[in-house]
Amino acid sequence: MDVYIFQHVEYEGPGAILPYLQAKGHKVHVVRLYAGDRIPHEDEVDFAIMMGGPMSVLDEADYPYFVREKELCRDMVQLGKPILGICLGAQMIASAFGAAIRRSPEKEIGWFPVEWENGMSESMTAFHWHGETFDIPKQAVALARSEACPRQAFRLGSALALQFHLETTLESMESMLKNGAEEIESASGCKYVQSIEDIRKTCAENIGKNNDTLVKILDFMLAKK
């Protein structure tokens, strides 16, 4: 299977997703959008995974490839091909289907509980890093919420959108912390923004469970292919 991972910034990569796909024997293509890589035609893509990033999906003037990404989101769902959006990628799917993207009620950075809905899974503590959120598209089913943000995940046909980061590994988390330290510092004192020290302190007890949930989700999505 040809799996395309769309990466928006160099420091926010696929984390635990990549070794999972490689172990399953899939052919993985990482599209480095920040470096100008071409976005493939939907016929080339069996499974699309859209990663996060600090920008807003509304900034099409600054990132013109967002227009083509949103087209790909719609094409993948129309063709019944699996597509997974994470954080910015989740907002990309929502925007592609006409849902509003807005400032989140609270900036959310760090390890905070997520409550799954519609029988998706049991509640868990997930890694968050976002200041914007999405409305749920009309055709979609809401799947998760948190105390800070009532819209955390949804399913729309063959698409799954997750506001949080189940793919987090120690390495990927450190990469995000290194590049986002200034944002954390500027948001110090916010109720749902942890310090770098607290993020590191909490990660060991949560990363494994997050990755296990990610594997279940990927297994489910790939089984439907």
Taking only the tens place, the pLDDT of each residue in 173-192 is 999 999 999 999 999 899 99
| CATH at 171 | 3.40.50.880
The mean pLDDT value for 188-212 works out to: 95
Q: On the CB side of 215, how many CA atoms lie within 13 Å of its CA?
A: 12
Provide CB contacts within 8 A for 208, sequence distance 6+. none
For residues 158 and 224, the answer to whether their CB atoms sit within 8 Å is yes
Give the domain range for residue 202.
Answer: 2-223
Res. 225: pLDDT tops 70: no
pLDDT at res. 78: 97
pLDDT at res. 118: 74
Residues 107-120 pLDDT 10s: 999 999 999 987 66
Q: Which of 155, 157, 180 is nearest to 168 (CA)?
A: 180
Res. 121: pLDDT tops 80: no
User: In the structure encoding, which two tokens stand for residue 141, read together?
Assistant: 């089913």
The mean pLDDT value for 122-145 works out to: 95
> Which ranges constitute the DSSP H helices of the chain?
17-23, 65-78, 88-96, 170-186, 196-223
Average pLDDT of the chain is 95
State how beta strands 27-32 and 2-7 pair.
Answer: parallel
Res. 224: pLDDT tops 80: no
Structural domain count, the chain: 1
Residues 52-61 pLDDT 10s: 999 999 999 9
**CA angle centred on 179, ends 178 and 184, rounded to 5°:** 85
Res. 42: pLDDT tops 70: yes
Cβ neighbours, 10 Å, residue 125: 17
Which residue would you say has higher pLDDT here, 225 or 31?
A: 31
Question: 65: helix, coil or strand?
Answer: helix
pLDDT at res. 119: 66
SS3 breakdown of the chain: % helix, strand, coil, rounded to 5?
A: 35, 25, 35
User: In the structure encoding, which two tokens stand for residue 109, read together?
Assistant: 């950075």
